Structures are given as structure tokens and as C-alpha cells.
Amino acid sequence: MSKRISSRLGFVAIPLLLAGTLCLGGCSNGATVSSDSPESVSATAPAPVASAPPAPSAQGTPIWGVDGGDAQHTGRSSQKGVAAKSLKWSYVVDGVVDACPVIGSDGVLYLGSSGEKLYAVNPDGSLKWSMPTTARLDSSPALGSDGTLYVCSDKAVRALNSDGSEKWSYATAGGGASSPVIGPDGTIYYGDSNKRLCALNPDGTLKWSFAAQAGVYSAPALGSDGTIYFGSGDSNVYAVTSDGSLKWSYATGDMVDSAPTVGSDGTVYVGSRDKRFYALSRKGKLKWSYYSGGDVSFVLGPDDTIYLRDAGGIRALSRSGELKWRYDTTYALSSLPAVGSNGTVYTGSGSTLYAIKPSGRLKWSMAVEGASGAVVIGAGGTVYVAGTGGKLSAIGK
């Protein structure tokens, strides 16, 4: 499953006409509308009734709406983050958290766990609701501007209301699916293990699908012109138009199973399991590449500085691929950092959360259980760490 917390078969050159095919049916069996409700909710909220009409969704732009924070997967926030280190609260889930939480406009956090549950946690750390799934959730949910929560689980894409009741579900053809991303028109894009990138309409019906040559575990990223970028196990990075047509593909040296990122100038950044980091132009031409020597995961700062996670810490690269600085951590980083609007980089290693200035100097550090899990930034700059031990921690004033 695609998760930016984790890493990224050789490629045989083929004509572009064979690199991918468009199909208007057949990613799955279709959508079914449901009014299923969460099995359990917090004691402070009444359980939803299955026969009642769906509750209205909380509307507004999500604070951290998808894996990577935005549809471009930059990992940066409009919030500065926190200037001082202080634990506000923590909440323990069943199992471990394998993917980034998302945050609604009302500050509610949504996250899945290996304990086969989906959680909604209020900004004060209390449980809003939880619901069981039939499999572990190792991809991030995504939030629409109307508050609808989209989850890829149980061999289906499910659309949920803000109270956890189900609006519809769409059966995926493959057993696994990537973290979804939402287009400006409400289209839901996701990849699956059946070698396809799929586009669903907001009502849960199939819009189109595009066939790669291997499984698509990379969460898609969206360009400003509507182009969808994604990687595949066939070692390619693909660029597909909003109607599902191939624009170009670029072959790396190994499979690509982490999400691409789109810079402010349209540059497409992507890591491959060949241990290289690639910068591609809008037309799919190589601008430069950088050998990392290991797993390649990264985020972008406000000025498009590239913060590359490696086994020993964080490397900062310029837009032209030159090393600006490196900050070494005690233990290897296993998840993506998050970047505040002022350029502060928040990342975890072992049981330590670090706040690193844009200059590469340490701002502060603090002990946080399972700090090597996913880091996201919420309202008021609160930094949330989805700890590897199953503890969600809120850091702020």
C-alpha cells in the first residue's frame, strides 16, 4: 500500500502507445450507497442511527487534507508550527499507525491503525468516534472540501460523513490501494495493486482508469493544470491528463512506490528504489538527479528547498540539486517530516522530536514516545506525531 512513511522491477522500454491504456470501466464493480455507521463512538457523542439521513459534513478547506498535506504532496503547512516544546495531550489507538493522519477544517484528526480501526479524534484529544475495518489501514485517508472523508480499505474506497456514517463505497479490483488525493472538482484519484490509476466521480462512480505495467502503490500528486503524477512498480513515473490520457512517462532504475511532489514552478520531484532522487520538468525531461544512497522520501519548504530524509538524518537540497546542509539525528528517520510556513522542519527519530531551522540548526528537541512516526501540523501550529507505538501526541502551547 502506498504510504509516505515507508520507502519506494526493472523497466523495459516500450512505445508510448503501449505505456498505458485508458479504460472507462473495469477498475471495480461500481459504487454502492450505504448508511453504515461507526461501531463505537465516544461517550460524549450519541451513536449515529443507521436509518437516519446522513449527517451534514463539516465544510471548509481541510487543514491537512491528504497524505503530504496538500494535493501536491509538499508536506508543508500554512501554519508556522510551535515555537516552544510542550506536550498538550496524547491518545492511544489499538495497534500502530502506518500512515499520516489528516486534519479537517474543524481540527478533527482522522487516522487508521494496524488494529483494524479508523479513528476521529477531537482537537482536545478526546475520541469523537471510531469504527472497525476488516483490515489494517496502512494508507492515509483524504478529506474533501465538503468534509467528506475518503478511505481506501477493505478492498474498497469508502466515502464517509463527518460522523463516520457511510455515503457510498466502491469495490477496487485489486487487494490494495494507495492513499487517495482529491481534485479541485471533487474527483478522487487513487492507485491499486491491479496496475491501475483510477478516477472516481464525487458520487462514487468510475470516471476513468489508466493502466500501468505493474501495481500503483504511489499516492498521486496533482499539478496546477490538473495533470496527475504517480509512480508504479514498473519503475516509471507517469503524467496523465485529467481525462485519463497519457502525457508522458519517465523510467527510473527501480520501482517507484512513494508519492511524487510538485514544486511551485511545476517541477516534479520523485524518489525511486534505485536510491536516486529525480527532478523532472513539466514535459517529463530530466533536470537533475541526486544519489541518496538509500530510501528516498522528502518534503518541500516554502522556497522549494528539498528536505530529503535519509538513514542518518535530514539533507537540504536546493532547487538545482546542490546540498545546502545536513542535520544528523541519533537514529534513522522512518517517516516524512512536516514543514511550517516559516521553514521550520519537524521530524522524529527514535523517541525524539526535532524542530530544525531553515539554516539547518536545531531550534529545539523533546522526548516523544514513538517520535519516528508521521508528523503533521494543525491549527495554531500544533504539531501532531502519530507515534510508531500507537500513541497520537499533540505538541504545542
Q: Could you read off the pLDDT of 315-326 as tens digits, one per residue?
A: 999 999 999 999
Please state whether 279 falls in left (phi above 0), alpha (psi between -120 and 50) or beta.
beta
Q: Please answer whether residues 380 and 340 qualify as being in contact, where contact means their C-beta atoms are separated by less than 8 angstroms.
A: no
Highest mean predicted confidence (pLDDT) among 2-16, 132-146, 243-257, 360-374:
243-257
397 or 74, which is more confident? 74
| Secondary-structure percent of the chain, ordered helix, strand, coil, rounded to 5 | 0, 40, 60
Integer distance in angstroms from the first to the last C-alpha of the chain?
A: 35
7 or 71, which is more confident? 71
Domains of the chain (ranges; CATH) run 16-44+56-74+111-330 (2.130.10.10)
Q: Could you read off the pLDDT of 59-114 as tens digits, one per residue?
A: 689 999 999 999 999 999 999 999 888 999 999 999 888 889 999 999 999 999 88
Burial of 262 (0-12, 13-18, 19+ CB in 10 A): buried
Amino acid code (one letter) for 333: L
Burial of 22 (0-12, 13-18, 19+ CB in 10 A): middle
pLDDT band per the 50, 70, 90 thresholds, residue 43: very low
The Cα 42–Cα 349 span in angstroms is 32
pLDDT band per the 50, 70, 90 thresholds, residue 58: very low
> Residue 191 has what pLDDT?
94
Residue 228 grid cell: 496527475
> Residue 174 has what pLDDT?
65
> Residue 24 has what pLDDT?
41
Amino acid code (one letter) for 257: D
Of 303, 227, 295, residue with least CA distance to 263: 303
The Cα 46–Cα 365 span in angstroms is 40
User: Does residue 47 carry a pLDDT above 60?
Assistant: no
Q: Could you read off the pLDDT of 159-192 as tens digits, one per residue?
A: 999 999 999 999 987 667 899 999 999 999 999 9
> Residue 219 has what pLDDT?
93
pTM: 0.85
Q: What is the mean pLDDT of the chain?
A: 84
User: Does residue 300 carry a pLDDT above 60?
Assistant: yes
User: Does residue 12 carry a pLDDT above 80?
Assistant: no
